[in-house]
A and B are shown apart, each in its own frame.
Chain A
Amino acid sequence: MAGYTRMGLSVALNTKNNAKADVRVAQDKEITKVQELTYELKVKDVMTTDVVTVSPKDTINDLREILRTRRIAGAPVVEGNQLVGIVSIEDLVKCLARGEMDASVEEKMTKKVETLYADEPVIHAVRKFDRYGFGRLPVIERDQGKLVGILTKGDIIEGLFKKLQIDYHEEEIHRYRASHIFEDIVADKTRLHFQYNIVGQDFNRAGEAASGLKKTLLRLGFHPQIVRRVAIATYEAEMNIVIFANGGQISASVQPEYIEIEASDAGPGIPDIEQAMQPGFSTAPEWVQELGFGAGMGLPNIQKCADKMDLTSQVGKGTDLKATIYIKERGN
């Protein structure tokens, strides 16, 4: 049963009786892998490069022929190499109804075109499709704005499946999965979540969480400068837990626009947060200072790296720290 996603699974379960437990493990792994892939894969990895285009001077009649023979539902309008508009089957139908088949594409096209950059991660495309409801998005090159491809939802799904090496030719499963996997990605699963358990007082292992998170984020294709800030903030938070508490948890929530790190422990708590935020202020015991830590730079460092920081603590209960680092999306 391994290799089936949750959606494909419902169909399979209706026809076969299989142990749910095995299957659940497989499906969770599969869904996580898909989520990760939407960050790893770039638009250029999944788009169609053989783009059918029309010219602004073509007529709507010409457009009809092109859409019919090439079996597509829309086309970008290009002049030279530049994208100047987009025209779809809806525009064609309107013209048919009004008898305007001799009008030029230029008159009827949508001039303000939503586009994708070839080097953007697929997750951006997914969210754009969700936001605008378009059937296709033209892909342009970042430097010159040259049209380099076109992307449909189907391309994304096919690209993901190919990468997962699932045999998607099983017609029945394919159709069912295809429609649901997209909704799932959009609905809830556009964020990734990583969790680490921190062992208190263990100086040998301290830093493993930060190091692991850094590797993962680099693999997912985030900008090295962003990753660096996340890594440093996480490392400092981790060291605080190791030095002062008896262990704790660090979690990283990765969204397309930001990464949020949460570090929590049931340690002694911080009596005066304002004081703790002063560079140089430290309550670390001397043996820690001899190890090179406890210089009082931890919290200020986190604040410097993060765009937003929230620190709450109760003496005797524990401490919770949230740090947010924004990822700049172009233009938005």
Chain B
Amino acid sequence: MTLEEVKEILKAEVITGADTLQMEVKMGCGCDLMSDVLAFIKSDSLLLTGLTNPQVVRTAEIADIAAICFVRGKKPDEETISLAKSKGLPLLMTHLPMFESCGRLYKNGLIGCSEYKE
């Protein structure tokens, strides 16, 4: 699924990375706790989270996450945004809650990390 499609399905706005919307994400992961993200996330995934501090970007970098979409209308602070920009990590934001976001993406064919066979 491309980020463009994710944007459409979640009615999301692009915070940074508008020129990367053709990027493919292979699976989705919904998580508010960073350690759990690191425990099982695979590379090239889309992370959905309500957490907006700079650590989210660092976690994404460490785990080779392709893009982040903030849920519940949460907007990251300036520091997080500039860190993401410097690392070329796309950030999106949707007003939908986590449940609705995961649900819609799953229904539209985006699989989860546990289902992705490398």
Contact = CB atoms under 8 A, between A and B. Distances in A.
Asked whether any CB of A lies within 8 Å of a CB of B in the complex, the reply is yes
Given A295-B33, A297-B35, A297-B39, A231 B53 contact: no
Nearest to A298: B35
Given A228-B64, A291-B53, A292-B51, A207 B35 contact: no
Contact of B35 (A208, A214, A228, A296): A296
Secondary structure class of chain B's binding surface, majority of residues: helix
Interface string A170-183: 00000000000000
A298 B34 CA distance: 9
Contact of B33 (A207, A232, A236, A293): A293
- Grouping DSSP codes into helix (H, G, I), strand (E, B) and loop, the A interface class, with mixed when no group exceeds half, is helix
Contact of B55 (A232, A292, A295): A292
A162 interface: no
Most chain B CB within a 10 A radius of its CB, from A211, A294, A304: A211
Contact of B39 (A206, A294, A301): A301
B36 A295 contact: yes
B32 interface: yes
Contacts of A117: none
B4 interface: no
B79 interface: yes
A174 B58 CA distance: 45
A304 B36 CA distance: 12
B53 A232 contact: no
Contacts of A239: 34-35
Interface in B44-67: 49, 51, 53-56, 58-59, 61-64
Interface in A191-207: 203-204, 206-207
A39 interface: no
A211 B53 contact: no
A292 B38 contact: no
Given A291-B53, A292-B51, A236 B35 contact: yes
Q: Which 5 A-B pairs have the closest CB atoms?
A: A207-B58, A297-B35, A295-B33, A292-B51, A231-B62
16 contacts: A203-B53, A207-B54, A207-B58, A207-B61, A207-B62, A214-B61, A214-B62, A235-B38, A235-B62, A239-B34, A292-B49, A292-B55, A294-B35, A297-B36, A297-B39, A304-B39
